[in-house]
Structure 1
Amino acid sequence: MQGKIMKGIAGFYYVDTVESGIYECKAKGIFRKQKMKPLVGDDVEIVITHEGDREGNIISILPRTNEMIRPAAANVGQALVLFAMKSPDPNLPLLDRFLVALEKRQIPSA
């Protein structure tokens, strides 16, 4: 069954599937061996372990279109960068860093 990771907390990933809703899943150990960590926004394949408790395991991560490190997210469609115009004064070098990071990862900004 395929779904999208909506939230990740302390090794538990909440995967939303079109067919059945949200499942609490754990990642298989193979991801540690591959040095790959599931991220919020990842499209994944899961296997249901306990249907009644809505639990499962993530067995594969589908290819990502892009990835952000901070915050950790994948398959980002658009980013919105907000800064105050006054009080506090905007930090323009920081704004430049954000925009360059988004451009490098090919994430459109609004």
Structure 2
Amino acid sequence: MGGDHGHGHHAPMCKIPDWRIYKVESSPELMEVKRLLAQKGLKDPWLRNEVWRYDRSQFAHPTQNWRRVFMRGFWPGLGLTVLTIALESLWAKAHPSEHGHGHH
């Protein structure tokens, strides 16, 4: 219980970036936070730990992310939809329903 205990049974879920490679100055958003804190006489010694979240070189353009998230599986889904409609149409022709036909 409680973790790996150094046995090496589990690989890490994701590679955590080394905080030393990042500089707050490379992130305009965090520079603004730093400036606002400085106006109040404060500073955040942990701010540099957040720089990786704003590193645009690590991530694709937001439009590409949107496409990847919402379009993933679109073509297989469209194909399955068309196949389902075709099979239901064939089934309906082979097994006509008596509901609503010939009754007035």
TM-score, L = length of structure 2: 0.22
More helix by share: 2
Q: Which of structures 1 and 2 has the bigger CA Rg?
A: 2
More strand by share: 1
TM-score, L = length of structure 1: 0.21
